[in-house]
Amino acid sequence: MTIAPTRPDEEAVPESPPDDKEPWFSRLARFSGRHRRAVMVVWLVAMLGAAPLALTLTNALSGAGWEAQGSTSVKVRDELRADFGELGAEAAVVVYRQSTPIAEDPTGVEDLVAELRTQPAAAGVVDPLSQPAEAGLLSRDGLVAMVPVQLSAETDAELPESAGELIDAVEGMALPEGARAEVTGEWPVWSDFNDTNEEALHRAELVSGIPTMILLFIAFGSAIAAGIPLVLALAGIAVGFAALHLLGDATPLSVWSMNFSMMIGLAVGIDYSLFIVSRYREEREDGYDALDAIANTLSTAGKAVFLSALAVVMSLAAVFVVPVMVFRSMALGMILSVVAVGLAALTLLPAVLVAMGDRVLVARGHSDPDRVAEGRWTRWTGAALNHPGRTLVAGLALLVLLAAPAIGMRLGMPGAGVVDEGRSSRDGYDMVVDSFGPGAAAPLFVTTPAQSAGEVVELATADPERRGCPRGGTTG
């Protein structure tokens, strides 16, 4: 009997265990690989069905939601809506300015009020010329007037849309020579912000797309392999956006959920793809065929992806304890993206990798960038472990340096300053502040029992920080 010698660097590829004894993630990988066409068709149908909802997501989101549920301010807002609807506490404000005193030539204001009353977006218009001077609707120099406009909308989500229609209507009005009119207020600000936010997202997609592709190409060494993470992220974000749209139609959600959903979806999509594609290519280089390689990959990297997604979802779920709709919307948007991207990573990605065959592998004659990177990180880790004290001090110093800007961080609520100059709500806000003084664009409303109204007015009048205290109305 003769024994054929083998080279010491040659290792036999171990046989794969039977399917029924494999880990669950391995069986999932084999299912996706064997039924790759069906899996890809299902995801393609899901993406096509999600596309219309994803592209119109902003229509289902609201600029509202910064109030804390159960707070005093929310109770006052609800009282104003129920009992003092004509007060216009949440009304948009059309700011009108002309070069001559309005008292001498009120025609411009009169025409503006008359035309506003014909607009579908206006449910009610307050004529500043018919109000007493204590109402504070005319500036001290007599050149600027504020025209409160009650918006025609039934829900908070519809108010920004109604405000946008009013902005467009005012921009199209013919005004006297030298006159100017802008629309500001809470809901016009959010209308302009939503438009700006949508434009910024499109720019971000274009600006970040090229650097991301370059980095992925460097990481994978192949244009085809580099495109896989973006496909995965796109699929997950589209499905996540669609789910967010459907939920936004059922309950109020903030527009901020879209930003954070896209941000986290792109991040984890690339991250999960790096895990799985890198491990898959290593398995193929070790001699496994496509199905065995993807099964081995998901038994390790796939489990890491699942646990990572689960940890992110669980940590974000804690945000729902905060009684502020904006933060809950942010968490919901991120959770939906992570779930969708994670599902795509565990089903769509294995199907795509098996379908592409050897095209995702490193070209013959080229070194594997993943294994080269492993060597670099091994040397880096070895150096750090040889000098643990120095490494710890250097790492802490770097973290302190990066965290230093947080010392000067100023926290606050978003206002008109979040909108770019040139937008009607921002320009109108600046006009109000310049003509009526700081605080005029955000009056404070106080509700109190009728018998205590006089005492409250006296206290407010005695406040040195107040700029005016018009007496309001009463309700039975």
Q: Say how far apart CA 46 and CA 64 lie, in whole Å.
A: 30
Say if residue 207 is in the same domain as residue 288: yes
Say if residue 286 is in the same domain as residue 358: yes
- What pLDDT, on a 0 to 100 scale, did the predictor assign at position 466? 64
pLDDT for 47-70, tens place per residue?
Answer: 999 999 998 887 787 766 777 777
Say if residue 358 is in the same domain as residue 280: yes
Q: Looking at 42-56, 189-203, 348-362, 459-473, which range is the least confident one?
A: 459-473
Give the Cα-Cα-Cα angle 254, 256, 257 (nearest 5 degrees): 80
Please state, in angstroms and as integers, the Cα–Cα distance from residue 364 to each residue in 215, 367, 455, following that order: 22, 8, 87
Q: Is the pLDDT of residue 156 over 80?
A: no
CATH number at residue 134: 3.30.70
First CA to last CA across the chain, in angstroms? 109
Q: Among 70-74, 211-215, 260-264, 342-346, which range has the highest average pLDDT?
A: 342-346
Contact 440, 135 (CB under 8 A): no
Distance between alpha carbon 352 and the CA centroid of its chain, in Å?
29
Domain end residue (candidates: 321, 347, 366): 366
pLDDT for 375-426, tens place per residue?
Answer: 677 788 888 888 888 999 999 999 999 999 998 888 777 678 788 888 999 9
Alpha-helical segments (H) within 176-222: 186-220
Say if residue 301 is in the same domain as residue 175: no
Q: Say how far apart CA 378 and CA 304 lie, in whole Å.
A: 21
* 374 falls within a domain: no
Containing domain of residue 469, as a range?
446-476
* 171 falls within a domain: yes
- What pLDDT, on a 0 to 100 scale, did the predictor assign at position 3? 41
Q: Is the pLDDT of residue 197 over 80?
A: no
Domain count, the chain: 3
Say if residue 257 is in the same domain as residue 354: yes
Per DSSP, the three-state class of 68 is strand
How is the beta sheet containing 180-184 ordered, strand by strand? 122-125, 144-151, 92-97, 180-184
Please give the mean pLDDT across all residues of the chain: 84
Q: Is the pLDDT of residue 43 over 90?
A: yes
CB atoms within 10 A of CB 436: 20
Say if residue 339 is in the same domain as residue 473: no
Predicted TM-score (pTM) of the model is 0.74
Domain end residue (candidates: 118, 149, 184): 184
Q: Is the pLDDT of residue 111 over 70?
A: yes
Q: Give me the residue label for tokens 């596309």.
A: 51
- Cβ burial of 424 (10 Å; 0-12, 13-18, 19+) is buried
Say if residue 333 is in the same domain as residue 261: yes
Q: Report the candidate in 359, 365, 342, 41 with the shortest Cα–Cα distance to residue 226.
A: 359
Q: Say how far apart CA 239 and CA 242 lie, in whole Å.
A: 5
Domain end residue (candidates: 320, 338, 366): 366
- Cβ burial of 476 (10 Å; 0-12, 13-18, 19+) is exposed
Contact 354, 33 (CB under 8 A): yes
pLDDT for 299-319, tens place per residue?
Answer: 999 999 999 999 999 999 999
Q: What tokens were used for 69? A: 């549920």
Per DSSP, the three-state class of 443 is coil
Q: Which residues pair with residue 147 across a beta bridge?
A: 94
Q: Looking at 23-37, 345-359, 412-426, which range is the least confident one?
A: 412-426
Contact 25, 304 (CB under 8 A): no
- What pLDDT, on a 0 to 100 scale, did the predictor assign at position 7? 39
Say if residue 311 is in the same domain as residue 337: yes
Q: Say how far apart CA 61 and CA 259 lie, in whole Å.
A: 12
Say if residue 51 is in the same domain as residue 151: no
Q: Looking at 43-47, 428-432, 465-469, which range is the least confident one?
A: 465-469
- What pLDDT, on a 0 to 100 scale, did the predictor assign at position 16? 55
